[in-house]
Amino acid sequence: MNKLCSILAALLMTASVYAQSPEKMSYQAVIRSSSEELVSDQLVGMQISILQGSAGGTAVYVETQAPTTNANGLVSIEIGAGAVVSGDFSVINWENGPYFIKTETDLTGGTAYTISGTSQLLSVPYALHAKTAEAVTGTITETDPVFVASVASGITGSDTTYWNNKLDSYSETDPSVPTGTQVGEMQYWNGTAWVIVAAGYEGNILTFTGGIPTWVGGTPDITNPVTGRVWKDRNLGASQVATSSADSDSYGDLYQWGRAGDGHESRSSATTATLSNSDTPGHGDFIINGTSPFDWRSPQNVNLWQGVNGTNNPCPSGYRLPTAAEWDAERASWSSNNAAGAFTSPLKLPVAGRRTNSSGSLSGVGVEGHYWASTVDGTGSQRLTFSAGAVVTSSSRAYGASVRCIKD
């Protein structure tokens, strides 16, 4: 199976402005892979937009560029020198702010941008307004300051040699600046001291909440060292990794097989007995069906949830539903073939229960675990089930069961 690697983030490192024509802004970004490795010596596609008023404001200028990262994963561009998509960089009224810079990146060098970030342009870019100085006319009178002798006039060559020798043998650390301990950490000034921002995870977006840089969205990956497969660390819809087998905050949502995340997966969603004749029912009700073939869809569709690009795949980009064989391989790696083994495994699978196909009521919560596979089995589909024992077996598709996403 091919393994795809996606980008975590493109972080703004520096921004400077040339106040004289041609008007440009220097921009640098470090590109890293999902494994925190630098993307070195690689062509990337970028679209840069200047937004007016807010982070979602009107784009007054848009351009594209195709820079190449250096050995350190750094791209350096000059905004204002790219291929113009819209607007005129030279006529932006920098007094009429605030302005924001939005960057979108395509790792392949094309225009299928999958990564974006927006940051407010603060005081530095407004140096562009200094172009008004070009229109200054008339006579400028300048008076040079008069310097008098200072105590420094007595410094001799022996003094400087002595001081240099001291500096060569002395190492100084600023105790007010924290030392990083993990790749990807950053620091910000809170008005009193430098504070570390912990490294983020794949899919995180760095945003500002109350003036503090904060990672939002995304969940980390985990790897089973026995199978070598990479998974999301929690059930789809769960707020945290399981701290115990019956940790309710780790249960997550319960999906009907083949349905997208449309609201039906909520444990408290309403029910309806009206079957859907399409892949997208158009509502968020849990569709109950106590009649063979016990599916929420009529006619049935065996092509749902097949692979990372499969119809209605509810997993994040680059992830999919595991197959029955992949669940069997995980189950074989457990210390015991039951709910205890499921929780002590690298995946920490909780006993999240299920929703019944005939009424939509919850069943087995805190006792049983039911996890969908993408594998079709006749009129049903395969799922991993565990309690006192564990097995991968066939199940009706109208049941609601947990989803744990695996990396493609």
Distance CA 65, CA 29 (A): 13
Distance CA 337, CA 339 (A): 7
Which of 38-42, 100-104, 123-127 has the largest mean confidence? Answer: 100-104
pLDDT attached to residue 244: 97
Distance CA 401, CA 370 (A): 5
Distance CA 128, CA 80 (A): 12
Strand partners, 318: none
User: Is residue 304 pLDDT above 90, yes or no?
Assistant: yes
Distance CA 80, CA 63 (A): 8
Q: Which SS3 state, helix, strand or coil, does residue 69 take? A: coil
Contact yes or no for 44/67 (Cβ under 8 A): yes
Residue that has been written with the tokens 């680059």 in this structure: 318
User: Is residue 19 pLDDT above 50, yes or no?
Assistant: no
Distance CA 179, CA 185 (A): 10
Confidence of residue 172 (pLDDT cuts 50, 70, 90): low
Confidence of residue 27 (pLDDT cuts 50, 70, 90): confident
Confidence of residue 93 (pLDDT cuts 50, 70, 90): confident
Q: Residues 157-168: pLDDT tens digits?
A: 787 777 777 666
User: Is residue 120 pLDDT above 70, yes or no?
Assistant: yes
Contact yes or no for 89/70 (Cβ under 8 A): no
Distance CA 366, CA 235 (A): 15
Confidence of residue 248 (pLDDT cuts 50, 70, 90): very high
pLDDT attached to residue 123: 56
Q: Residues 40-53: pLDDT tens digits?
A: 899 999 999 999 99
Dihedral of CA 158/164/169/171: which sign?
positive
pLDDT attached to residue 130: 56
Q: Are strands 221-223 and 400-401 parallel, antiparallel or unpaired?
A: unpaired
* Structural domains in the chain plus CATH codes: 7-133 (2.60.40.10), 161-218 (no CATH), 221-408 (no CATH)
pLDDT attached to residue 14: 38
Identify the weakest region by mean pLDDT among 74-83, 185-194, 318-327, 351-360. 185-194
Q: Residues 50-63: pLDDT tens digits?
A: 999 998 899 999 99
Q: Residues 129-151: pLDDT tens digits?
A: 555 555 555 667 777 776 666 66
User: Is residue 395 pLDDT above 90, yes or no?
Assistant: yes
Q: What does pLDDT average to over the chain?
A: 85
